[in-house]
Homo-oligomer: A and B are copies of this chain.
Amino acid sequence: MAGTNRVAHHTDETRKALVNRLRRIEGQVRGIARMVEEDVYCDDVLNQITSVEAALNGTRKQLLEAHIRSCVVEQIQDGKLGVVDELMKTIGRMVP
């Protein structure tokens, strides 16, 4: 599996910001399950799912930026261009 021997090197601040965003998203998803259980009107549930997707997209962009600015730049500077192949695969999955 890609990344097996490697770790991320986030600053404490970045890591904390990412974890907080993800915990908030987790709570939102739990709330949506409850909305469905309580038969909340579909339009309202659909819009709430769309909000969660926007929040996930924001988190994903923040993480991608942290990744490019640290790991990718460093590895390119070290001449390890394999990181670009990986980056292209990852972006390829993110971009429609």
Which residues of A line the B interface, CB within 8 A? 1-4, 6-10, 15, 18-19, 22-23, 25-26, 29-30, 32-33, 36-37, 39-47, 49-50, 52-53, 56-57, 59-61, 63-69, 71, 73, 76-77, 81, 84, 86-96
Contact = CB atoms under 8 A, between A and B. Distances in A.
A25 to B, nearest CB: 5
User: What's the dominant secondary structure at chain A's contact region?
Assistant: helix
B10 A57 contact: no
Q: Which A-B residue pairs are the 7 nearest by beta carbons? A: A3-B41, A42-B67, A22-B33, A26-B29, A7-B39, A6-B41, A3-B44
B50 A53 contact: no
Given A36-B10, A47-B90, A52-B56, A71 B95 contact: no
A66 B42 contact: yes
